[in-house]
Structures are given as C-alpha cells and as structure tokens.
Structure 1
Amino acid sequence: MGEKPVNLYEVPYKVLFQEVRHRYPNYTYDFKKHVIILHDENREALGHIRLPLHLSIDDQLTITNEETLVVYLSIESGKAALCVRKGKHNLYHTTFSAYMTRKKQGVSQIKYLNKKGKSRAGSRVRLAATVDFFERINTTLLEIFDKHEIQRIALNCNTTLIPYLHQSKVACPFDKQDPRLYKIPLHIPQS
C-alpha cells in the first residue's frame, strides 16, 4: 500500500507535535532524515512527517530552534546553486557554472571518461573547468562556514560528482559522514 502525501503546512508545529504524541505514542524521530515516523501499537510504520530544515526538535518533539542556519547546496554537471538560510530568511545565494558538458552529445565529461579517453584538447578544457568549478564551490563554502555557525547542510548532488567535491585542492568544509548532512529527497532538474 503506497503512502499518500498530505499537506500539513497550515497546522502549527506545536499542535501537530501534540497530536503526534497523543495519537501515536510509539513515534520515532529520525534526525538523519529529519522526519517523524508514525508507528501503531505493534510498532508497524504507518507513515512519516517530513519536517522543514529550519526547525530543530529533540526526540520528545520539543522545538529547540525555529531559526536553524541551513546551507542548501545543489550540484549538477556544470551548474550549482548555493543558499544560506536562517529560519525562513535568505541570508546568501549564489550560482556557479562551468563548461563541463560535451555540447553535441550532452554528456558530462566526467561520465564520458568512463567510456573513452581524455586526450583531446576539448576534453582537457572540460576537465580543467571541472576542477575549477569545484574549487570555486569549496572556496565559497569555506567563507560561509567561517562566517556562520551552520547547523544543517542540505545537499543535492549526483554520486559521480561527490568525489570531486571532497577531493578538490580547496578542502570541502564538511566530510561525507558529517552528522549535519541531509540528502535532499527530491530530484532537482536544474540547479
């Protein structure tokens, strides 16, 4: 049986959490996914409530902070967007672009390397642009992390690009296992 999404946007958080504690006393809060999982009396999962990232709660569903500082980073081949939000307010936003995609084939040079070589001049240009692309992203991230105390990091990035983010000459300010890291659970077609 598939779950149907229900929009609870209009329900105040305190009322929602009170209802969850009352109706589903066997609930669990998953910090990594930032969801409340609703269980019946037999501990069978009934569904979940996905929470906004700017809201911090504890295991007893008590709101600890409604103004959480979150970095949103969305990366795709040749395009990236970076945003810093405190609560519902946008503090910083920027985009990055680079020539990383083979124009005629529409394939990223990184993915193309798995099939063919990299000896042509165009390939070298795209690979150099890839290195520069991730260095610029990491430089901006370092500046943000130096200026702000970040509580959550929301990341949307293809698995083939993650090594480039973490193995750049400019070190990424967070690692792959950072407890603040949150994988954005939807596909974003264009960063």
Structure 2
Amino acid sequence: MRREIFDKNLIEKFLVFMQSRNFEVLFEAKKNQLVYYSESEALMKLRLPLDLEFDPEKNQTNLLDFKHYVLVLIRSGIAAVGYFENFINTDHKVFRAYMVRKKQGKSQIKYLKTKGKSRAGSRVRLSETLEFFEEINIRLSSYFKDFRVDQIGITCSETLMPYLFGSKEETPFDKKDPRIFKIPKHIQNPTYEELLKTNDFLLSAEIKYNDKGEELWKDFLASVDEKNEKISPEDNW
C-alpha cells in the first residue's frame, strides 16, 4: 500500500465521504486505525493521531483533552525511552550498549544462536545486553510509579522483545497489556531526536491505499477542492 500524511483538518470530511459510499469499515482500536473494505479487500486505511479518539456509533472523532504515555524505541545497542504528558515530552533517556559484533555487524543475541558465548568479547557483549534491558526497565518503572500512563508505544524486534520482558528488572507492564500499541514506523537509530520525531509522527494522521483505493482517494480530494472553490471571499468574510 502507498501511504502519505493526511491533513487532520480533513478527517471529519473524509469520514462522511466514506460513509456515503457504504463501504464496510472496521475500527482497529489497538492501532487507532480505520480500515475500509470492498468485498473483503482492504482498500484504504486511515491511522488517526494519538490526540483523537474514534466514536464508531457516531462515525466521528473526538479531540482528547489529555493523554499521558510512554514511547519505547529499541534497536541492538541503542534505545530511547520517553514520557509524554499531554502529548509533550517531559522526560527521556537514551541507552547505549556494546551489543554488536563490529566485523559482522550482528548483535550478540543473534550470534549466540549459532556460535555460543565462549569468547571473552562475547561474554562482555552478553553482559552489556542484559544490563541494557535492566536499565530500560528501571527507567520505565520510575514512570509507572510516579506518573499516570494511558498508552505504551513500542518498537522493538522480535529477537529483542524476550530480553525486555525477561529482564532481571521486571518490565512494569505485561506483554499483553491492552495499553500497548506497536509504533507503525521503522526507526533505525533511536536517539532523542528520533523520539521527538516519532511523537510528531504519531500525532499526525496517515492514509494508506492500494490501487483501487487510490481512485477513491482522488475522488475525495477532488470533492474537497470542489467545495472549497464554491466558497467565495464574501462567504469567508
């Protein structure tokens, strides 16, 4: 599917437009996403921003007055964790560890599956890996102890996820916690800057569509342009 950022000011118009076309629609609460189907084929997906909630009965969105959440970005050897109060970052921490074998560019965790951990360098990398996740969980625990947390956004590979939830320092939430959502964005280098960019991304809306959905998307944009053209300067005044 092709994707692009969606103008938040057009969301309500889009909901009305799609409802008039009588497509089957499914709201995926976990992803805060609307999926429009035609004969069981997903034509379009609209991901709503974090500051909007969807009311399926009224087919409309509501702007949230507040929401507090944590974002957890993890890659081999680097991670960024942040607490966001009312959508604004108020605390963060970047973690780094010697986890990657320099020549192969492979994390120690993946290397252990095939080569073991007999060499001194391997033992150091494994030790730093375990400490890496312990420090992440200590930071997360402080957030959950001191603040209200409405949602938990995570991006972490399947290989590393067991180390997050299997750390000696327990993660302050269960892996099946309903507040968890997967951040729908690939993040190569989880720095503080990327943490803020990820938050901006989550506060934006995004539309995704296939070839059939593209025609529908063009029809919607044309209908919006047509309505705007009918508004004269006097009407604006």
Q: Give, in whole Å, the separation in 2 of the partners of 1:117 and 1:9.
A: 51
Once the two structures are TM-superposed, the CA of residue 22 in structure 1 deviates from its matched residue by 4.6
The residue that corresponds to 2:220 in the other structure is none
The residue that corresponds to 2:231 in the other structure is none
Q: Give, in whole Å, the separation in 2 of the partners of 1:104 and 1:87.
A: 43
Once the two structures are TM-superposed, the CA of residue 36 in structure 1 deviates from its matched residue by 0.9
Aligned partner of 1:52: which letter? Answer: P
Q: Give, in whole Å, the separation in 2 of the partners of 1:72 and 1:133.
A: 17
Alignment of 1:51 with 2:41, yes or no, is: no
Once the two structures are TM-superposed, the CA of residue 34 in structure 1 deviates from its matched residue by 1.4
The residue that corresponds to 1:155 in the other structure is 154
Secondary structure of the residue aligned to 2:5 is coil
Which protein, 1 or 2, shows the higher relative CO under an 8 Å CA cutoff with sep ≥ 6?
2
Secondary structure of the residue aligned to 1:5 is strand
Deviates more, 1:98-107 or 1:157-166: 98-107
Query: What's the C-alpha RMSD, in Å, of the aligned pairs?
Result: 2.2
Alignment of 1:174 with 2:173, yes or no, is: yes
Secondary structure of the residue aligned to 1:11 is helix
CA contact 1:57–1:64 (8 Å) conserved in 2 = no
Q: Give, in whole Å, the separation in 1 of the partners of 2:127 and 2:69.
A: 30
Aligned partner of 1:135: which letter? Answer: E
The residue that corresponds to 1:78 in the other structure is 77
Once the two structures are TM-superposed, the CA of residue 97 in structure 1 deviates from its matched residue by 0.4
CA contact 1:55–1:68 (8 Å) conserved in 2 = no
Query: How do residues 1-191 of structure 1 correspond to structure 2 at under 5 angstroms?
Result: 3-11=1-9, 13-24=11-22, 26-40=24-38, 44-60=41-57, 61-63=60-62, 65-191=64-190
Q: With the length of structure 2 as denominator, give the TM-score of the two structures.
A: 0.71
Residues 143 and 16 of structure 1: is their aligned pair in 2 closer, same or farther, counting only changes over 3 Å? farther
Q: Give, in whole Å, the separation in 1 of the partners of 2:116 and 2:102.
A: 17
The structure carrying a bigger helix percent of its residues is: 2
Q: With the length of structure 1 as denominator, give the TM-score of the two structures.
A: 0.86
Once the two structures are TM-superposed, the CA of residue 139 in structure 1 deviates from its matched residue by 0.5
Residues 134 and 76 of structure 1: is their aligned pair in 2 closer, same or farther, counting only changes over 3 Å? same
Aligned partner of 1:146: which letter? Answer: K
Task: Work out which of the two has the higher radius of gyration on C-alpha atoms and give 1 or 2.
Answer: 2
Residues 151 and 18 of structure 1: is their aligned pair in 2 closer, same or farther, counting only changes over 3 Å? farther
Secondary structure of the residue aligned to 1:93 is strand
Structure 2 unpaired stretches of 5+: 191-237
Cα displacement string for residues 66-85 of structure 1 (whole angstroms, at most 9, x for unaligned residues): 53222111101110011222
Once the two structures are TM-superposed, the CA of residue 171 in structure 1 deviates from its matched residue by 0.6
Q: Give, in whole Å, the separation in 2 of the partners of 1:101 and 1:48.
A: 37
Aligned partner of 2:110: which letter? Answer: K
Cα displacement string for residues 124-148 of structure 1 (whole angstroms, at most 9, x for unaligned residues): 1111111111010000000111122
